[in-house]
Homo-oligomer: A and B are copies of this chain.
Amino acid sequence: MKIYVGADHKGFELKKVVLDYLKKAGYEAEDVGDDHLDPEDDFPVFAAKAVHKVLGSEDKDARGILICASGQGMAIAANRFKGIRAGLGWSVDAAKATRNDEDSNVLALPADLLKTDRGQTAFDIIEVFLITPFAAAPRFIRRNVELDNL
């Protein structure tokens, strides 16, 4: 599974440990930036980079992971794009729900997840996001079609 990881300055440190975690776990992870710590960089730039990679990937199960201070800005930005369903990963249960019900292909993470445990909570949330299958009930599929017709 190909995974594109992006972050603004507030997510820069967590992005580093997430990329390390993903590579050690055997995933093909690509850093879409920011490539240095720039307090003036703008989250929509990196959301767009990751989203274009996910949508353009030959891997139909490609995913994006996007990190900013609260995760909110990244989720707003990613969800501007048809074909993207970005869930907010504030907890393991939240990540599981958005995979199961919406087949989310992008996970937005709050950078605060790094603070307490060097990223372990973030890793737990990411793992559930990556391994939880889409339930694919007809009503879920129908709602995903409606999302892209909005």
Count of identical protomers in the assembly: 2
A contacts with B, residue count (CB < 8 A): 38
Instruction: Name the B residues within 8 Å of A81 (CB-CB).
Output: 150
Q: Are B42 and A139 neighbours in the complex by a CB distance under 8 Å?
A: yes
Instruction: Name the B residues within 8 Å of A17 (CB-CB).
Output: none
A140 closest partner in B (C-beta) = B73
A110 closest partner in B (C-beta) = B94
- A40 CB–B CB distance under 8 Å: yes
Instruction: Name the B residues within 8 Å of A90 (CB-CB).
Output: 88, 90-91, 94
Q: Are A76 and B73 neighbours in the complex by a CB distance under 8 Å?
A: no
A-B contact pairs, 29 of them (CB 8 A): A40-B139, A42-B146, A43-B143, A44-B147, A45-B146, A69-B101, A70-B87, A70-B97, A71-B88, A72-B94, A72-B102, A72-B104, A73-B101, A73-B102, A75-B79, A76-B86, A76-B87, A76-B102, A76-B104, A76-B147, A77-B147, A77-B150, A79-B79, A79-B80, A80-B80, A80-B82, A80-B150, A81-B150, A88-B90
